[in-house]
Structure 1
Amino acid sequence: MTLMAAVLCLPACLIGAIASEETADAISAEDAWSILMEGNERFVSGEVASKDFPERRSELVSGQSPFVTVVTCSDSRVPPELIFDQGLGDIFVIRVAGNVMDPIVLGSVEYGVEHLHTPLLVILGHQCCGAVTAATEGGAEGNIESIMTEIEPAVEIARETNMTGSNLVEEAIDENVDLVIKNLLDRSPITKELVEEEKLTIFGAKYFLETGEVVVLTEVDASNVAEMVVEEEEKVAAFESGETPTAAIPKEESP
Structure 2
Amino acid sequence: MCQACGFPNARHERPLPRRAFMLGAAAALTLADGASAKPARKPAPTPPKPQNVMTPDAALARLMEGNKRYQKGVAKRHDFVAEREALVSGQNPYAAILSCSDSRIAPEYAFDSGRGDLFVVRVAGNFANPDGIASFEYAVEVLKTPLVLVLGHDSCGAVKSTMTSLQDKTTLPGHLPSLVAALTPAVEASAGQPGDKLENAIRENVRLTVDTLRAATPLLSAAVNDKRVKVVGGIYRLKDGAVDLIA
1:25 Cα deviation from its structure 2 partner: 8.4
* Distance change in 2, residues 1:96/1:41 (3 Å): same
**4+ residue runs of structure 1 moved beyond 3 angstroms?**
17-26, 185-188
Aligned to 2:84: 57
Q: Greater shift after overlay, 178-187 or 47-56?
A: 178-187
Aligned to 1:242: none
> Could you tell me the percent identity over the aligned residues?
38
Q: How does 1:163-242 map to 2 (within 5 A)?
A: 163=195, 167-218=196-247
Aligned to 2:192: 160
Gaps of 5+ in 2: 1-41, 166-170
Aligned to 1:87: 114
> Which amino acid in the other structure matches residue 141 of structure 1?
P
* Distance change in 2, residues 1:157/1:24 (3 Å): farther
Distance 2:83 2:140 in 1: 23
Distance 1:215 1:43 in 2: 14
Looking at secondary structure, tell me which structure has more helix per residue: 1
Aligned to 2:125: 98
Contact 2:140 2:229 in 1 (8 A): yes
1:65-92 deviation digits (Å, cap 9, x = unpaired): 1111111111111111000000100001
Aligned to 1:148: 180
Contact 1:20 1:66 in 2 (8 A): no
* Distance change in 2, residues 1:24/1:131 (3 Å): farther
Distance 2:182 2:51 in 1: 31
Contact 2:154 2:199 in 1 (8 A): yes
Distance 1:63 1:28 in 2: 20
Contact 1:24 1:116 in 2 (8 A): no
1:72-117 deviation digits (Å, cap 9, x = unpaired): 1111111110000001000011111111111111111111111111
> Which amino acid in the other structure matches residue 81 of structure 1?
E
Gaps of 5+ in 1: 1-14, 219-255
1:140 Cα deviation from its structure 2 partner: 2.1
1:19 Cα deviation from its structure 2 partner: 3.3
Query: Secondary structure of the equivalent of 1:69?
Result: strand
Name the TM-score, length of structure 1 as normaliser.
Answer: 0.74
Q: What value does the CA root-mean-square deviation take over the aligned residues?
A: 2.1
1:29 Cα deviation from its structure 2 partner: 1.0
Q: Higher Cα Rg: structure 1 or 2?
A: 2
1:141 Cα deviation from its structure 2 partner: 1.8
Distance 1:25 1:74 in 2: 25
Q: Greater shift after overlay, 25-34 or 188-197?
A: 25-34
Distance 1:23 1:191 in 2: 23
Distance 1:82 1:88 in 2: 11
Aligned to 1:74: 101
> Which amino acid in the other structure matches residue 197 of structure 1?
D
Distance 1:77 1:99 in 2: 14
Aligned to 1:9: none
Query: Secondary structure of the equivalent of 1:124?
Result: strand
1:188 Cα deviation from its structure 2 partner: 3.5
Query: Secondary structure of the equivalent of 1:34?
Result: helix
Name the TM-score, length of structure 2 as normaliser.
Answer: 0.76
1:24-48 deviation digits (Å, cap 9, x = unpaired): 8840111111111111111111111
Contact 1:185 1:191 in 2 (8 A): yes
Aligned residues: 200
Asked if 1:110 corresponds to 2:142, the answer is no
Contact 2:52 2:93 in 1 (8 A): no
Q: Greater shift after overlay, 24-33 or 102-111?
A: 24-33
